[in-house]
Amino acid sequence: MRPNGCFGCGQDNPYGLQIESHWEGDEVVCQWTPKEYMIGPPNYLYGGISASLIDCHSVNTALSYAHKKVGNDDKYDRSIQMVTGSMNLRYIKPVPMREVELRATVEKVEGRKYFIKTELQSDGITCVRGDVVAIQLKAAQ
Ligand SMILES: CCCCC/C=C\C/C=C\C/C=C\C/C=C\CCCC(=O)SCCNC(=O)CCNC(=O)[C@H](O)C(C)(C)COP(=O)(O)OP(=O)(O)OC[C@H]1O[C@@H](n2cnc3c(N)ncnc32)[C@H](O)[C@@H]1OP(=O)(O)O
């Protein structure tokens, strides 16, 4: 989708994280590598960056799922809009400053609420687990 200035996934935001998420079976997956200045504790990723990664990846999972539900797999429909309603994170292990993988699944959908479970992994080990509720905005009247 262009233009896209989203801090998480916007290719048009040079200061953003520029994540790219794609479907792999029933999961939405993304590989991403931190910049040196995104450090928090010595040698480890800043927790707010992990939160941003999980936030954007999860909301995009919901957004893409909502598109699929109406039989639209590849064309972005600007009338379908999604925001983060709530996000609960469990920081299980510190995240090393190297490539991470995000893996998200749609747990359930209730009306406009999409319940997404996302894991942030390093070398196949889950470091952060997120439960995100993405909410589809009411269609403009
Ligand atoms: C796989 C490839 C991916 C492809 C993607 C492709 C392209 C990408 C393109 C574009 C990308 C664009 C954007 C990037 C995506 C993400 C960006 C990152 C995410 C964000 O950065 S986003 C900003 C932060 N976010 C907000 O700024 C939200 C502020 N807030 C509000 O705008 C309202 O507050 C709202 C809308 C949330 C609700 O308002 P509302 O009036 O629509 O809804 P209402 O109150 O009627 O509630 C309806 C039902 O939701 C329940 N509910 C309400 N609030 C809840 C909550 N907080 N948590 C859990 N449940 C909640 C109620 O309990 C009720 O549930 P029930 O129906 O069961 O009673």
Contact between residue 47 and residue 91 where contact means Cβ atoms under 8 Å apart? yes
Residue 124 identity = G
pTM: 0.93
23-46: b (≥16 Cβ within 10 Å) or e: eeeebbbbebebeeebeeeeebbb
112 lines ligand 1 (CB under 6 A): yes
pLDDT digits (tens, 9 = 90+) for 8-62: 999 999 999 999 999 999 999 999 999 999 999 999 999 999 999 999 999 999 9
Q: Which residues pair with 22 in a beta bridge?
A: 29
Nearest CA to ligand 1 atom 37: 85
Give, using CA atoms, the residue closest to atom 17 of ligand 1.
56
pLDDT at 79: 87
Ligand 1 center to 98 CA (angstroms): 31
Question: Ligand 1 pocket, 78 CB below 6 A?
Answer: no
Task: Catalogue all structural domains in the chain, each as residue range(s) with its CATH number.
Answer: 22-136 (3.10.129.10)
Q: What is the pLDDT of residues 98-123, one digit of tens each?
A: 999 999 999 999 999 999 999 999 99
Q: Is the CB of 67 under 6 A from ligand 1?
A: no
User: Using the 8-state DSSP alphabet, how is residue 140 labeled?
Assistant: P
Secondary structure (3-state) at 112 = coil
